[in-house]
Amino acid sequence: MSGTHGTHITPGEGRDRVAPEVSDATGESEVRPEAVEAITAVARRMLPEDGVITDHQRLRTYECDGLAHYKVTPALVVMPETTEQAAAIVRACAEHRVPFVARGSGTGLSGGALPRADGVLVVTSRMRTIREVRREDQRAVVEPGVINLDVTRAASPQGYYFAPDPSSQQVCSIGGNLAENSGGAHCLKYGFTTNHVVGAELVAPDGEVVRLGGLAPDAPGYDLLGAVVGSEGTLGVVTSATVRLVRLPEEVRTALAGFETTDQAGAATSAIIAAGIVPAAIEMMDALAIEAAEAAVHPNYPAGAGAVLVIELDGSADEVEHEFGEVERLCREAGAFELRVATDPAERALIWKGRKSAFAAVGRISPDYIVQDGVIPRTALPEVLREISRLSESSGVRVANVFHAGDGNLHPLVLFDESVPGAGEAAERVSGAILDLCITHGGSITGEHGVGIDKAAYMPKMFNDEDLDTMQLVRCAFDPHGISNPGKVFPTPRLCGEVPGKRKGVHPLQAAGLAEVF
């Protein structure tokens, strides 16, 4: 695959890279018209006319997700509206050994919903029913196409909300959140999507509908639900999720702290956590990210700041009052030269608008950029940010940093101009070097965007052969024919059904460099 790591956004016409087709376990990677036609016939019997797309120009609408760096036109797009319809389509795919990929709103940032040229794209965006909000159980049952923020809108009149809040929460869907185990600004205190999903309805890769978990906090037996959340669509298609609702806090207080350097902001973050305070969120932006936000949405962040922290506390009024006094003191001691507190919802929204629009805002200061996603220990923030700065200086590639400081989830934005020869490649090298930094400092290649197709080549840097073999055995148990979102997460597919250990001779896929025998 290409050396790109992260999301490469190119406004207008740009360089489209076609992702390499990774053969599934059967070795078939070419479009088989008769198989696609058979699945199309099943879909036309089950779905409304506009729920089956075969026209090439309309198919191109779905050729990528938020990672526009790779594009593949699917052979067929289907839009089921019920679990029964989704199951029928998946059963047809299984019968004909045709790969399928699930897609929600298409906002993913790792190519996890990249289609297969020889496969079916199962778009769940029409499955948008909130089936139930159970205030007494603090649960909601929602379909995968339900927009993240709509869960909170449905629950808030009853005094509850859905805690995971990716920056794209106004457009991203629950199915995608579950597939990628998305986080968001408030994951520091409330955890990731996996901490808020207690049950799921899953169409397995053979088309069987299974139910995992339920209303109870924890189901007996193996944690199959835990395996599905974050599996990036490789274990089947989720058609509903039972999610945990959190009571709305008595008080929320949002503050903005300005610092001269990122070192000071990082020190303040560590000091706050070390003091036993767990804010709902601690977000950091450096000078370049601040510049972009000011140009785009004018949040009026402190002039001359080398870094800002957005700090949000929530809970009982007394608790928030006490903790805010400590946060203010620790920020001042770390070097904050300005500290503002939102006095009404409008001011709070403006503070957050600057942070949550950061990715898009960077388009104001750079024609092209790569969105990265890596994790480091919180205490390593100052050192890693200094190393990123050195990388930027030595390469001549600008990097804007905006991230979840509280849990060390970095989102560096690597800026470049595609029209300049070699600029894209230089940006890719810097982006990859940042991931190397994360691994070197004991972190991870992804915090919430997933591995997808974009970072699969980095998996062997984090895991040894035995680790990867074990992970792929789980995948094979769910999907022995390798048709559920093949080519994602792992750098090479496991040949399901192969006898473990040494084998005589060389498998044709192994000889072609398309698979490894474990």
Average pLDDT, the chain: 90
Tell me the percentage of the chain whose pLDDT exceeds 70.
90
> What is the per-residue pLDDT for 499?
52
> What is the per-residue pLDDT for 27?
37
> What is the per-residue pLDDT for 507?
53
> What is the per-residue pLDDT for 3?
35
Kindly report the number of other CB atoms within 10 A of residue 499's CB atom. Answer: 8
Residue 211 in contact with residue 127, Cβ under 8 Å? no
- Quick one: 251-440 is in which CATH superfamily? FAD-linked oxidases, C-terminal domain (3.40.462.10)
User: Which residues on adjacent β-strands are paired with residue 150?
Assistant: none
Q: What angle do CA 380, 381, 386 make, to 5 degrees?
A: 105
> What is the per-residue pLDDT for 506?
59
Residue 96: pLDDT band (50, 70, 90) is very high
Mean pLDDT along residues 266-290: 96
> What is the per-residue pLDDT for 6?
41
Torsion of CA 53, 206, 18, 21, to 10 degrees: -140
Mean pLDDT along residues 460-482: 94
User: How far, rounded to the nearest angstrom, does the alpha carbon of residue 186 sit from its chain's CA centroid?
Assistant: 15
> What is the per-residue pLDDT for 397?
97
DSSP 8-state code for residue 259: E
Range with lowest mean pLDDT among 13-27, 97-111, 239-253, 415-429: 13-27
Nearest to 485 by CA among 59, 176, 169, 145: 176
Coil/strand/helix, residue 210: strand
Nearest to 107 by CA among 167, 38, 154: 167
pLDDT digits (tens, 9 = 90+) for 329-369: 999 999 999 999 999 999 999 999 999 999 889 999 999 99
**Helix boundaries (H) for 250-380:** 262-274, 287-297, 317-334, 345-356, 358-361
Residue spans in the chain of domains classed CATH 3.40.462.10:
251-440
> What is the per-residue pLDDT for 30?
73
DSSP of 353-407: HHHHTHHHHGGGT-SEEEE--EE--GGGHHHHHHHHHHHHHHHT--EEEEEEGGG
Mean pLDDT along residues 186-208: 97
Mode of pairing for the β-strands spanning 139-142 and 130-134: antiparallel
Mean pLDDT along residues 56-65: 97
Residue 517: pLDDT band (50, 70, 90) is low
7-123 is a CATH 3.30.43.10 domain: yes
Burial of 134 from C-beta contacts in 10 A (0-12 / 13-18 / 19+): middle
Torsion of CA 278, 288, 432, 430, to 10 degrees: -150
Sheet architecture: strand order including 120-123: 52-53, 76-78, 120-123, 100-103
Mean pLDDT along residues 78-91: 98
> What is the per-residue pLDDT for 498?
60
> What is the per-residue pLDDT for 512?
56
Architecture of domain 130-247: 2-Layer Sandwich (3.30)
Strands (E), 124-185: 130-134, 139-142, 160-161
pLDDT digits (tens, 9 = 90+) for 6-56: 444 333 333 344 444 433 433 345 778 999 999 999 999 999 999 999 999
> What is the per-residue pLDDT for 374?
96
> What is the per-residue pLDDT for 22?
38
> What is the per-residue pLDDT for 4?
36
Mean pLDDT along residues 289-305: 96
Mean pLDDT along residues 291-299: 95
Nearest to 445 by CA among 109, 199, 55, 98: 109
CA count, 13 A, side-chain hemisphere, 98: 29
Residue spans in the chain of domains classed CATH 3.30.465.10:
130-247
pLDDT digits (tens, 9 = 90+) for 472-511: 999 999 999 999 999 999 998 777 866 554 445 555 555 6
The length of the chain in residues reads: 518
